[in-house]
Chains A and B, each alone.
Chain A
Amino acid sequence: MNNQGRPTAPDAANTNTLAPKTHSGNQALNQAVQLIFEVGDLATTGIDLPQPKGTKSRLGDQARKGPIGLPGLSEPETMRHYVRLSQKNYAIDLGVYPLGSCTMKHNPRLNEKVARMPGFADVHPLQPIATVQGALELMSELSHWLMTLCNMPAVALTPKAGAHGELCGMMAIRARLDADGQTQRRRVLVPESAHGTNPATAVQCGFTVDEIPASGDGRVNLDALKARIDSNPDDVAGIMLTNPNTCGLFERDIIEIADAIHAAGGYFYCDGANFNALVGRVRPGDLGVDAMHINLHKTFSTPHGGGGPGSGPTVLSDALKDYAPVPYVVQTKEGYDLVENADDKSFGRMCAFHGQMGMYSRALTYMMSHGSDGLRQATEDAVLNANYVQASLSDVMTPAFGGVCMHEALFDDRFLKDTGVDTLDFAKAMIDEGYHPMTMYFPLVVHGAMLIEPTESESKQELDRFIGSMRHLAEKAKAGNVEMFKQAPVYAPMRRLDETQAARKPVLRWVEPEEVGVAAE
């Protein structure tokens, strides 16, 4: 048992106890999955290629002499292994994926078709410029859409994801401060509800972070912010603020916050991870934002999760645009060209090449197929869906803050008080209901947080089914069905895994069974 009273080893009855145990370990379409090292064998090989004739190896004594330590599998064995694994995976193409703060919206198939066009998919970054005019035009068009939606005069396309975009924005701020001789401005204000990457980015850029507390309604405490600025306005480099914030709330004092930072001589970095709640309705440039990254992989529907790829273009204000990184696309009389070398103002280069072409083509396809009216409607539907979820669950669950939310609904664990069920158990029970659990225990400022982001992709019927499951679970918890929650998930291929041991003693590498034996001696 661990400290939370949960077993630290998997339950012996790891699968449906009513069903007879099969010899193969498979349960009809629920196929057992072995490690690839157990499917294959280190001693055999699954392919058989003849030694090429008429060639002479020039590796000399650099040629490998020992075995490579990889299992030998045939193509069908390899295929089956990964298809079986994929069938155990949850995906947005399988059901509602309400992971808050992640924006798991549908990835339209049209995006995929365009991304696979050879002129976008098969280009090489070192190809002559004259042969990639279409790809450059797409990047230029994408830049135009992003700058228009944000009302900002410049965009750096290259950052590879959100945190990289934050780095881009903060490096531009630092470059501007240094150019102005404002080297004493080394403190960045970060609200306590910020994304964890915000303070990390500030520190990475050589700044020191001052935390600004939240007010009771989940937003930045404006008085505390002003007091901090007044205490020493000359050391403030800027603020990093997420809007809508991680509680799914619009920072209603945002213009006053921007004015206060600008009056002190600092710059306003806005974390644009939640821009999908604003597109077509609010332009960050109108709010006084100096730099903001845009997660193409969230807001503009490019596939993400499981480690990538992402793309985090960063828009910059008039004050920062000269400090943008290279490379960027320019239009000349002869066509499109790339500016590859930094002038004396640009802070330099963030990537070897030109960014995530596959994300650019998907994002622009999403934008152009929706049009400006469609993008606005997607935003409105995302906010409507989140509010529908919040309103439909308010009588059985406890919203963390009152009032209207933006694109995500945030609940705390007060409704589970004295039930013996906690947020983690509730999330595990959602797996049995066939849903990916919502984001849990984040944001940290809310106790036992459950953050639900339905996105605009779900229909009312689908949302009603999801809400029905959530109501069912909330009522079961309140009725004292503790055991059902502690046992969950019971229908998943694997039951509750030992997360504590996995974090304390992670096993990251497969070791030959013989080696395990030797190590134990």
Chain B
Amino acid sequence: MMKYTESHEWIKLDGDVATVGISDYAAKALGDVVFVELPGVGDDVDAGGELAVVESVKAASEVYAPIAGEVTAVNDALEAAPETVNAAPTEGGWFVKMTVADASALDALMDEDAYKDYCAGL
């Protein structure tokens, strides 16, 4: 199941590995993404720590790690095709795969409905 942060990242747990990206709302708000800077495989990240940088025609923003863990894979394809973040933010536009230090940390994040309500209030 997909979970969301207040800073508009999504995270999806699949076995031991979580995939992280930015939400459709974030991709729309940013406008056309022109550059994505990804972390190194093997980097340790803290919950709320900087995970990646995304640059659009409007702004440059940080992408934060929803939970703590270690980066196990990054979506290199975004370097050549950053537009994928706009086209399919929750699928081909994923940013990183990471280990999950503590799966219960996911419980504190919003589910789909709660995130929808959260965005509507912005």
Asked if A2 and B59 make an inter-chain contact with CB atoms under 8 angstroms apart, the answer reads no
Q: Complex: how many Å from CA A441 to CA B30?
A: 10
From 431 to 447 in chain A, residues with beta carbon under 8 angstroms from any chain B beta carbon are 441, 444
Decide: B58 and A2 in contact? CB cutoff 8 A.
no
Indicate if A61 sits at the interface (CB-CB under 8 A).
no
Within 8 A of A (CB), among B55-86: 55, 57-59, 82-83, 86
**Complex: A27 Cα to B83 Cα, angstroms:** 37
- Tell me whether B42 is interfacial, beta carbon within 8 Å: no
Main secondary structure of the interface of B (DSSP, over half): loop
Alpha-carbon gap, A3 to B87, bound state (A) = 7
A178 to B103, CA, bound (A): 43
Chain B 76-114 interface mask (CB, 8 Å, partner A; 1/0): 000000110011000000000000000000000000000
**Bound CA–CA A3/B83 (angstroms):** 8
Residues of B within 8 A of A499 (CB): 32, 57
- Report the interface size for chain A: residues with CB under 8 A from the other chain: 9
Chain A 500-515: CB-based contact to B (< 8 A → 1; otherwise 0): 1001100000000000
Q: Flag if B59 contacts A444 (CB, 8 Å).
A: yes
Q: Which of B18-76 contact A (CB under 8 A)?
A: 31-32, 34-35, 55, 57-59
What separation, in Å, do the CA atoms of A4 and B86 have in the docked complex?
Answer: 10
Partner of A4, one of B32, B55, B82: B32
Report how far A441 CA is from B87 CA in the complex, Å: 22
Complex CA distance for A208 and B116, rounded to whole angstroms: 34
Note all chain A residues with C-beta closer than 8 A to B58.
441
CB contacts under 8 Å to B, within A83-116, are none
Number of A-B contacts (CB under 8 A): 26
CA distance A504 to B34 in the complex (A): 5
Q: How far is the CA of A2 from the CA of B86 in the complex (A)?
A: 10
* Alpha-carbon distance between A4 and B28 when the two chains are bound, in angstroms: 9
On whether the beta carbons of B31 and A504 are closer than 8 Å, the reply is no
Asked whether B86 lies within 8 Å of A441 as measured between CB atoms, the reply is no
Q: B35 and A503: CB pair below 8 A?
A: yes
- A3 to B33 CA separation, bound complex (whole angstroms): 9
User: Once the chains bind, are B59 and A504 in contact (CB under 8 Å)?
Assistant: no
Q: Using Cβ atoms and an 8 Å threshold, which residues of chain A touch B35?
A: 503-504
A-B residue pairs in contact (CB < 8 Å), sample of 23: A2-B32, A2-B83, A3-B31, A3-B32, A3-B83, A3-B86, A3-B87, A4-B31, A4-B32, A441-B59, A444-B59, A499-B32, A499-B57, A500-B32, A500-B34, A500-B57, A503-B32, A503-B34, A503-B35, A503-B55, A504-B34, A504-B82, A504-B83
Please give the residue numbers on chain B whose beta carbons come within 8 Å of chain A beta carbons, in ascending order: 31-32, 34-35, 55, 57-59, 82-83, 86-87
Additional pairs, 15, CB under 8 Å, beyond known A3-B87, A500-B34, A504-B83: A2-B32, A2-B83, A3-B31, A3-B86, A4-B31, A4-B32, A441-B58, A444-B59, A499-B57, A500-B57, A503-B32, A503-B34, A503-B57, A504-B35, A504-B82
